[in-house]
Amino acid sequence: MFFDLKKYLVQYQISHNEEMNQILHTIFFPSVVWSIAAMLSLLGPIYDPPQWMIPFLQFIPEYTLDIHLGTVLVFTCFFFTFLMDPLICIIFIPAAFSQLIIIQLVTENFPYPLNMFGFMYTFVFSSSCDLIGHYYIEGNTPALFKKNYKLIPFYHFFTIYNFVMYMGYRPELYQDIKEEAAKEIERLNALAKQEKKD
Q: How many CB atoms lie within 10 A of CB 133?
A: 23
Separation of alpha carbons 50 and 81, rounded Å: 26
- At 3 the pLDDT is 67
Q: Assess contact for 153 and 33: CB atoms under 8 A.
A: no
Q: CB of 31 within 8 A of CB of 198? A: no
User: Closest Cα to residue 78, out of 116, 44, 46, 37?
Assistant: 37
Q: What is the pLDDT along the chain (198 residues), one digit of tens a residue?
A: 456 788 889 988 888 888 899 999 999 999 999 999 999 999 999 988 888 888 888 887 778 889 999 999 999 998 989 988 999 999 998 998 999 999 999 999 999 999 999 999 999 999 999 999 989 988 888 877 877 777 777 888 999 999 999 999 999 999 999 999 999 888 888 887 777 776
- Among residues 155, 180, 175, 151, the alpha carbon closest in space to that of 165 is found at 175
Cis peptide before 113 (omega within 30 of 0): yes
Give pLDDT, residue 107.
93
DSSP letter for 18, please.
Answer: S
Residue 69 in contact with residue 91, Cβ under 8 Å? no
pLDDT of residue 83: 87
> How many other CB atoms are there within 10 angstroms of residue 98's CB atom?
14
Q: How many Cβ atoms are within 10 Å of 192's Cβ, its own excluded?
A: 9
- pLDDT score, position 146: 76
Helix axes 155-166, 5-15, angle to 10 degrees: 80
Can you give the residue ranges of every domain in the chain? Answer: 15-153
